[in-house]
Structure formats: structure tokens, C-alpha cells
């Protein structure tokens, strides 16, 4: 009889489902946060365009739309960086530990 493949042993590990659920929840939270930010931005632009198109000041004719959009893009990069760091440190360490347990 052939030995059980490593991935099947990993999937049957008691902590594997906990780690998998944690990863799924974290991904969902990040996706919902990003989508909510973009949705709020689009709703604000759709229903209150005059507020976003107002100039910042009399001396600066740039509309508020531009700094808000730049902030949204920078926030997206920041959140992506946080996501990658979390996945590469916390969740990858957990998966490596589980793989080491299964490999023994």
C-alpha cells in the first residue's frame, strides 16, 4: 500500500482548517474594506459631484476630487502592503509549521 500523500496529511491536520479559515476571513475583510472605500467614493461623486468639484481654496483652483482620489489610491497601496506582510509573516509561518508537523 502506498503512503498517504503529504497534502492529504496536511488537510487532515487539526489546525489546518483553523488556519485556512483565518486566511479566508482576513482576505474577506481586506476586500470588503477596499470595496467599501471605492463604493463610498463613487456614491459621493454620483450624488454630490458639486462637493468634490469645489476648488480647495481661492488661491488653489484644484478640485477636492483630485486629493481624495490620490488618497484613495495611496490607501489601496498601503492596505495591499499590510495584506502582503500579514500573509507572508503570520499565515505563511503557520502553514510552514503545519507542513513541518505533517512531514515528520
Indicate the pTM of the whole model.
Answer: 0.77
Q: How far is CA 37 from CA 28, 64, 72, in A?
A: 14, 16, 8
For residues 39 and 26, the answer to whether their CB atoms sit within 8 Å is no
Q: Per-residue pLDDT tens for 47-88? A: 999 988 999 988 988 899 999 999 999 999 999 999 999 999
Amino acid at each position: 500500500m502506498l503512503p498517504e500523500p503529504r497534502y492529504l496529511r496536511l488537510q487532515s491536520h487539526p489546525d489546518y482548517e483553523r488556519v485556512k479559515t483565518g486566511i479566508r476571513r482576513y482576505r474577506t475583510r481586506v476586500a470588503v474594506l477596499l470595496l467599501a472605500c471605492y463604493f463610498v467614493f463613487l456614491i459621493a461623486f454620483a450624488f454630490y459631484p458639486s462637493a468634490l468639484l469645489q476648488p480647495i481654496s481661492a488661491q488653489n483652483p484644484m478640485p477636492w476630487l483630485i486629493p481624495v482620489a490620490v488618497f484613495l489610491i495611496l490607501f489601496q497601496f498601503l492596505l495591499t502592503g499590510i495584506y502582503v506582510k500579514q500573509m507572508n509573516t503570520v499565515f505563511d509561518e503557520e502553514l510552514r509549521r503545519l507542513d513541518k508537523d505533517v512531514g515528520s
